[in-house]
Structure 1
Amino acid sequence: MNKWKIGFFLLAGLVAAAISAVIVFISSTTESVPLPDMNTRNMSDNVLTVKATKENLEGIANTFIRKAMKEGPLPVTMKISDEVLLFSEMTMFSLTFPVIMHFDPVVQQDGNLILKLSKMEIGELTVMPSIILKILKDSVKLPDWMTVRPKEEEIFFNLSEIPVTGNLQVRAKTFNLAEDDIILELIIPQK
Structure 2
Amino acid sequence: MNKWKIGFFLLAGIVAAGISAVILLLSSSPESVPLPDKGVVDVSDNVLTVKATKENLEGIANTYIKKAMKGGPLPVTMKVSDEVLLFSEMTMFSLTFPVIMHFDPVVREDGNLILKLSKMEIGELNVLPSTILKILKDSVQLPTWMTVRPKEEEIFFNLAEIPVTGNLQVRAKTFNLAEDEIILEIIIPKK
TM beyond 0.5: yes
Partner of 1:96: 96
Q: Which amino acid aligns with 2:7?
A: G
3-state secondary structure, aligned to 2:133? helix
3-state secondary structure, aligned to 1:82? coil
Are residues 63 and 171 of structure 1, via their aligned partners in 2, closer, same or farther at CA, if it must alter by over 3 Å? same
Q: Percent identity?
A: 85
Q: Which amino acid aligns with 2:179?
A: E
After superposition, the C-alpha distances for 1:155-176 in whole angstroms (9 at most, x for unaligned) are: 0000000000000000000000
Q: Which amino acid aligns with 2:2?
A: N
After superposition, the C-alpha distances for 1:111-154 in whole angstroms (9 at most, x for unaligned) are: 00000000000000010000000000000111110000000000
After superposition, the C-alpha distances for 1:44-66 in whole angstroms (9 at most, x for unaligned) are: 10000000000000000000001
Moved more, 180-189 or 32-41: 32-41
Moved more, 6-15 or 49-58: 6-15
Q: Residues 1-191 of structure 1 correspond to what in structure 2 (within 5 A)?
A: 1-72=1-72, 75-191=75-191
CA contact (8 A) 1:86 1:100 kept: yes
Aligned residues: 191
Residues of 2 paired with 1:72 and 1:150: CA distance?
24
TM-score by length of 2: 0.97
TM-score by length of 1: 0.97
CA contact (8 A) 1:72 1:141 kept: no
Moved more, 135-144 or 67-76: 67-76
Q: Which amino acid aligns with 1:29?
A: S
- Uncovered stretches (5+) of structure 2, i.e. residues with no partner: none
3-state secondary structure, aligned to 1:63? helix
3-state secondary structure, aligned to 1:163? coil
**CA-CA distance at 1:26 after TM superposition:** 1.8
Runs of 4+ in 1 over 2 A off after TM superposition: 70-74
Across the aligned residues of Structure 1 and Structure 2, the Cα RMSD in angstroms comes to 1.0
